[in-house]
Amino acid sequence: MLRIYSQSLGCPKTRVDTERLLGSLGPVLTVDEPEQADLVFINTCAFIAPAVQESVQTVLQMIEDLSELPKNKKPFLAVAGCLPGRYGIADLKSELPEVDLWLHTDDIDTWADQIMRALHLEHAAAGRLLSTGPSYAWLKIGEGCRHNCSFCAIPSIRGKYASEPVDKLVTEASALVNDGVKELIVVAQDVTAYGTDFGKDPRVLLEKLLALDGLERLRLLYLYPGGLTRDLLRFLKEAGKPFVPYFDMPLQHAHPDILSRMGRPFSGNPQEAVDRIREFFPEAALRTTMMVGFPGETDEHFRTLMDFVEKNRFHHMGVFAFQPEEGTAAAAMPDQIDDSVKEARKDELMELQRGISEEILAGYAGQRMEVLVDESSEEWPGLHTGRTWFQAPDVDGLTYVSGPGVENGALVEADIVETREYDLVALA
């Protein structure tokens, strides 16, 4: 049996690629240490400069660790994903010859074949090896991006948007739910773009996912405002459970001047998108990401952003300071903002959001809610971490839960007994 040590860096889409790859290598044994493995697989991220640095450092550290092993004990080292996708295999080979195999994002469907050939093994049937435990799984429904935002390198790394086939996704989702997964989290660079490359829209897939017997929650992440049409929102409203009224829209900014410079596909008034959602889902939990310090952002632009966030009271918000990414249009724009100003604006916006989040969560005190239990906590025996309907894994806060029936993968009713800035405490 092939023994594998893997690391997946960056976003959930990368994790899905890793899980699909591992599941396509036949019966495997995942190990906790590289020296125990026959194959070390690193799936990299290169979306922004810090991600590139983390990926390079991870590979370099692995090379150093493996160099200490006897030659006949060294595992095969394969590095995949956005790092070779962004910088090309030829250059990386010359810089890091210690890597046995580089795998480009353009060849993702052949990763398993390439690895098995290199290891002189026969290729097994496709599958998926989950790394998220029994409660939830990510379902990546598309690759690449159809937009050309001036600050983003993803189209040059991952290419134009391409939807995964409906039947393939439904088969994969059915297998996950049949194995006990209670929550599917649909992800793509833009979930609302699904199907547009073959003349459809996301409903062609969602209606089949919503019908899966045993699915408790269907959550959609990365929804572009322009794609959240009235027709789609009406469809989701009429669908009801297991759809979760949680909308993650990466707005990036609120001022039309900055949105236009960013090249966002909606450069008008983002308030319209928020209002449209709340028209259909007054109770919706909204998550967004904002970018401060974009070239040309004035104090007035920033105040507009602050006012927008204060007015709309997002359940969750991530804030990023603009970083000029090599090869993007924004990197060459005039009126770049000093790092000190970027960081000050980031801190101010996050401080505003911290208070909003704390107030929103305080409103749930005393309520009885369903909590999906993800994993046991290391803090003390009997304590677990889980999530309510308005908490997505990795990006939002947690619910600490304990009591009868609380175990990994369980969906339990619990009373919210304490609220914090980003987290909840509950008793079943």
Question: Where in the chain are all domains bearing CATH 3.40.50.12160?
Answer: 2-118
pLDDT (0 to 100) of residue 27:
87
With bands split at pLDDT 50, 70 and 90, how would you rate the model's confidence at 124? low
Tell me whether strands 2-8 and 28-30 are parallel, antiparallel or unpaired: parallel
| Each residue's pLDDT tens digit, 64-96 | 999 999 988 999 999 999 999 999 999 999 999
Mean pLDDT, residues 308-314 taken together: 98
Mean pLDDT, residues 133-161 taken together: 92
In 3D, which of 131, 99, 132 has the Cα closest to residue 115? Answer: 99
341 pLDDT more than 70:
yes
3-state secondary structure 223-271: CCHHHCCHHHHHHHHHHCCCEEEEEEEEEECCCHHHHHHHCCCCCCCCH
The answer for residues whose C-beta is within 8 angstroms of residue 127's C-beta and 6 or more apart is: 20, 23, 24
How many angstroms separate the CA atoms of 40 and 30, rounded?
10
Question: What pTM value is reported for the model?
Answer: 0.93
pLDDT (0 to 100) of residue 125:
72
The answer for residues whose C-beta is within 8 angstroms of residue 212's C-beta and 6 or more apart is: 173, 174, 177, 184
With bands split at pLDDT 50, 70 and 90, how would you rate the model's confidence at 369? very high
47 pLDDT more than 90:
no
pLDDT (0 to 100) of residue 237:
97
What is the Cα 366 distance to its own chain's centre?
Answer: 31
How many angstroms separate the CA atoms of 309 and 321, rounded?
16
In 3D, which of 182, 154, 146, 162 has the Cα closest to residue 81? Answer: 154
220 pLDDT more than 80:
yes
Q: What percent of the chain has pLDDT over 90?
A: 89
Pick the CATH number of 136-362 from 3.80.30.20, 3.40.718.10, 3.40.50.300, 3.30.1120.80: 3.80.30.20
Question: Where in the chain are all domains bearing CATH 2.40.50.140?
Answer: 368-427
Torsion of CA 421, 352, 259, 344, to 10 degrees: -110
Question: Where in the chain are all domains bearing CATH 3.80.30.20?
Answer: 136-362
Cβ atoms of 417 and 426 within 8 Å: the answer is yes
How many angstroms separate the CA atoms of 386 and 388, rounded?
7
| Each residue's pLDDT tens digit, 167-188 | 999 999 999 999 999 999 999 9
- Neighbour-count burial of 380, counting CB atoms closer than 10 A to its CB (0-12 exposed, 13-18 middle, 19+ buried): exposed
The answer for residues whose C-beta is within 8 angstroms of residue 334's C-beta and 6 or more apart is: 295, 296
How many angstroms separate the CA atoms of 69 and 56, rounded?
21
123 pLDDT more than 80:
no
Mean pLDDT, residues 364-381 taken together: 94
Please give the single-letter amino acid code of residue 418. Answer: E
CATH number of 368-427: 2.40.50.140
Q: Tokens 């239990």, residue?
A: 373
191 pLDDT more than 90:
yes
Pick the CATH number of 2-118 from 3.30.450.20, 2.30.40.10, 3.40.50.12160, 3.50.50.60: 3.40.50.12160
Cβ atoms of 36 and 4 within 8 Å: the answer is no
